[in-house]
Structure 1
Amino acid sequence: MNELPAIVTQAPYAAFLLEPSGRIADCNAAAAALFGMAPAELCGRQFVTLLDPFSIAKAQTMLAQTIHNGGVQHWELVHRRGGAAPLLLGYTTWPIRDADGAITGIVALGLDLGPTVALTAQLAETNQRLESALKQLERAHADLKAAQTQLVQSEKMRSLGQLVAGVAHEINTPLGYVANNLAFLAERLPALRTAPTDELSWRDVADAIHESQIGIERIAAIVRALRAFARPDEAQLVPADVNEGLASTVRMVRAVSGPRIVIREEYSDVPPLLCHPGELNQVFLNLLMNAVHACRGAGTVTVQTASDGNAITVTISDTGIGMEAATIARLGEPFFTTWPDGGGTGLGLAISREIVTRHGGHLHFQSEPGRGTTVKVALPLQRGDP
């Protein structure tokens, strides 16, 4: 047999019929077109004469394996084409036998791998561009996270600045009677040296020392609350007592809320929450300050905590002026504020909502004009990474 099978002749792939010696006995039109020759020009030539020198030994091995093993699959050979670019074909071969089983020829069906190689290169280039874009996105995300952290800290410092006057007054009161008691002790000590058995004077001294200790503890508690609020959070989440964070924040807000604002604290037993406690304290401060502001100088703010085993809910309600539905719909928009001009940046609730969302929770507002506002902060006890 010295002709290709008819079904192979019509194939869109390059097909050669090779003699066992490697001479080309026949080829189809697709093969001739790839090499820019007529089929008659290819027939009679040794197959290896079409190959790049580095592929000749591989082609000879391909023919030998076809004869001994019954064929090969996906063998890649590089062909020379005169002045044209080299041609890479992937070959599948099988032997043709006569009636006695002797091999009379080898069919070599070659698939042009040029488009595949080009596509692979294009995909590699695209992948490289995507990796570069991903790295840029990662850098941008890191920059955004850094800016976000800075924004939260800046807003925290702004809120802290609003509290300074009230906190100073809160510290000044116990500091005043500590100073008065020290002056009293300094005055009484000389008399006690001359009358060491005067029990009444010693009782007065003990009372003064006790009052001073209470005052010092009040000052220390305020300082601890300030430090806990102002300290930046660590990168890692830590277990924290939500009640403790609320209590320290309420202490600072109470110092600036005025005598006619009553802040009621109703804490339930809640489990520790894995969180960034400083960030949550920032949320509580923003919500508490808004509640006090809504009371317009007189009213009640109630702080409650509860847990159902799946989440901790912090509820802050006030008896203030309330809000319309249109206002509630805009809460959390950057730079939108219900405070008078110059009273707020419009970032407090936007930052609070973002912090709560990153903790896997959500904020819910319920309000009517003249009927006060209730805000619920739901914080899941178990969640995925933020």
Structure 2
Amino acid sequence: MNNSPQTPVFTDLLLDTLSEGVLVLDACHTITYSNRAARYLLGYSNAELVGQSLHAHLQSRHRDGTPYPVNESPFSWLHRGGAFCFIEDVFWHKNGSPLDVEITANPLSEPAPGAIVVFRDIAERKNSQAKLLKAFQDLDALNLRLDKAHGQLLQNEKLASVGQLAAGMAHEINNPIGFVSSNLNSLEKHVQALLRLVDHYERLEQDGYIPVAKCEALTLLKQSIDFRYLRDDVQDLLCESRQGVERVRKIVKSLKDFSREGNEYQWSEIDLHHCLESTLDVLSREFNGRCELLRDYGEIPHVFCLASEINQVLMSVLLNAAQAIGERGTISISTHREQDNAIIEITDTGCGIVPEAMPHIFDPFFTTKTIGAGTGLGLSVAYGTIQRHGGNIEIDSSPGKGSTVRISLPIKPGEVAK
């Protein structure tokens, strides 16, 4: 190496061309040299840096302002003869602001023991990393919203398919029910005519117009077919059949009302009591033998809403209530008016919901049911539907004491999110 007088000057010029800050330390980590970039990045003049302890002057505090002990600084490694590269840490600017830096340090043995420190400002890089991290977080949040929207779309498609299926079933069932009902009417008339004919023959038998031998044969035949029982039972069978047909007619009507065929996307004034009864009819099998239904309907005016969507909300809530009940229980349904809102309260005596699950009860895909017993979308979709109608849905529940779902819907039409 050439040790001519120009060498230090050349070295200074060379170091001043670097964009990284350079500090030279002595054995006690006192600053003995700083290049132009170091002075620019730190805000100090050369006179303000040279002769100062690096730790005391530039690294006395952590970024949060707490004391930064010397032994926690990466520069303590230099005391043990080690070097380090690309360590991220903090220096303090002259104006008191923290400066995020990436540091490389190597020990020196000539011309005297010490170290050379090279550092660069990484604030922009960290800012870019923070923006990138936020972009990833925003992307995750967007993906969650997309998943939620996708789930709700699937559920809406499923519910729409159920509505179309219900309407189709209603049409298909109506045709055979029509001729079965007509045939039952005709059969009842024919049976009545035949019974009148049999009565006439019995009177002839009693009056002696039928030979004794024939009467004995008729008596044996009546006994073999249990004629008296058949005579009474045939009319009971016809009556029960007619009641069954009427029951099917009612179910078909409820299916058509529930699906609101042709009116799925029409906002109109709807009788909530009619919606409740239609939904109860559709779910009658879920309640049969296990759930006692108690109704306490108050006086409420018609509500401006999408009937098919409100029916789906009622179905989700009533189905959850039925499934929460074990062998036997009670579901109470009450309605009343509170100022400009119609209130529906559905209370069950089922298993209830544990407190830690309550904050997540309306989250998509969250369910307290066993695997395969539910999708976790029913209450989430119900919440979104009621919110879109300008209303509110709340749940009050305690483990072992059942649950109460309170649905509030505005009576007067307002701004709705269609």
Shift in Å at residue 197 of structure 1? Answer: 11
Q: 1:356 to 1:228 in 2, by over 3 A?
A: same
Aligned residue number for residue 219 of structure 1: 248
Q: Which runs of 5+ in 1 are unaligned?
A: 1-143, 163-175
Q: 1:292 aligns with which of 316, 319, 322?
A: 322
Contact 2:181 2:245 in 1 (8 A): no
Give the letter for the 2:252 counterpart: V
1:303 correspondence with 2:333: yes
Aligned to 2:383: 353
Task: Give 2:357's aligned residue.
Answer: 327
* Matches of 2:151 and 2:267, distance apart in 1: 19
Q: Deviations over 1:182-225 (max 9, x none)?
A: 87775554342464799x99999887665544333221111111
Superposed, 1:179-194 pairs within 5 Å as: 189-193=193-197
Check 1:180–1:267 CA distance in 2 against 1; reply closer, same or farther (3 A cut).
same
State the Cα deviation string for residues 71-125 of structure 1 (Å, max 9, x = none).
Answer: xxxxxxxxxxxxxxxxxxxxxxxxxxxxxxxxxxxxxxxxxxxxxxxxxxxxxxx
> How far apart are the structure 1 equivalents of 2:328 and 2:164?
22
CA–CA distance in structure 1, aligned partners of residues 297 and 200 of structure 2: 49
Distance in 2 between the 1:187 and 1:290 partners?
47
Seen in structure 2, the aligned counterparts of structure 1 residues 202 and 376 have a Cα distance that, compared at 3 Å, is same
Q: Structure 1: which amino acid aligns with 2:352?
A: G
Structure 1 Cα separation of the partners of residues 299 and 153 of structure 2:
31
- Whether the aligned pair in 2 keeps the contact of 1:299 and 1:319 (CA below 8 Å) is yes
Q: 3-state DSSP class of the match of 1:342?
A: coil
In structure 1, what is the Cα distance between the partners aligned to 2:260 and 2:340? 28
Written as runs of structure 1 = structure 2, the 5 A alignment for 1:1-386 is 151-155=155-159, 157=161, 189-193=193-197, 195=199, 211-231=240-260, 233-386=263-416
8 Å contact kept, 1:363–1:378: yes
Number of aligned residue pairs: give it: 231
> Over the residues paired in the alignment, what is the CA RMSD in angstroms?
4.1
Is 1:178–1:211's contact at 8 Å kept on the other side of the alignment? no
* SS of structure 2 residue aligned to 1:314: strand
Normalised by the length of structure 2, the TM-score is: 0.47
**For residues 234-282 of structure 1, what are the alpha-carbon distances to aligned partners after superposition, in whole Å with 9 as ceiling and x for unaligned?**
4331111000100111122232224122121221121011111111010
Q: CA separation in 2, counterparts of 1:187 and 1:204? A: 12
Q: Aligned partners of 1:146, 1:294: CA distance in 2, in Å?
A: 27
SS at match of 2:295: strand
The Cα offsets for residues 284-316 of structure 1, whole Å up to 9 and x where unpaired, read as 010001011111231111111111241000000
Work out whether residues 188 and 238 of structure 2, in 8 Å CA contact, stay in contact via their aligned partners in 1: no
Instruction: Tell me the amino acid that sits aligned with residue 249 of structure 2.
Output: A
Shift of 1:345: 1.2
- In structure 1, what is the Cα distance between the partners aligned to 2:266 and 2:163? 24
For 1:215, the aligned partner's letter is G
Closer, same or farther: CA 338–155 of 1 in aligned 2, 3 Å: farther
What's the CA shift for 1:348? 0.8
Distance in 2 (alpha carbons) for counterparts of 1:340 and 1:296:
14
Instruction: Label 1:296 to 1:227 Cα distance change in 2 as closer, same or farther (>3 A).
Output: same
* CA distance 1:156–1:259, change in 2 (3 Å): farther
**Distance across 1 between alignment mates of 2:299 and 2:397:** 27
Letter paired with 2:406: K
- Please give the alpha-carbon distance, in whole angstroms, between the structure 2 residues aligned to 1:178 and 1:372: 46
Do the aligned residues in 2 keep the contact of 1:155 with 1:348 (CA within 8 Å)? no
Distance across 2 between alignment mates of 1:235 and 1:145? 19
Match of 1:140 in 2: none
Runs of 5+ consecutive residues of structure 2 not aligned to the other structure: 1-147, 167-179, 203-227
Equivalents in 2 of 1:341, 1:178: separation in Å? 47
Superposition deviation, residue 230 in structure 1 = 2.7
Is the CA contact 1:291–1:320 (under 8 Å) kept in the aligned structure 2? yes
Are the structure 2 counterparts of residues 316 and 197 from structure 1 closer, same or farther at C-alpha, using a change threshold of 3 Å?
farther
Instruction: Provide closer, same or farther for how the CA distance between residues 309 and 179 of structure 1 changes in structure 2, counting only shifts above 3 A.
Output: farther
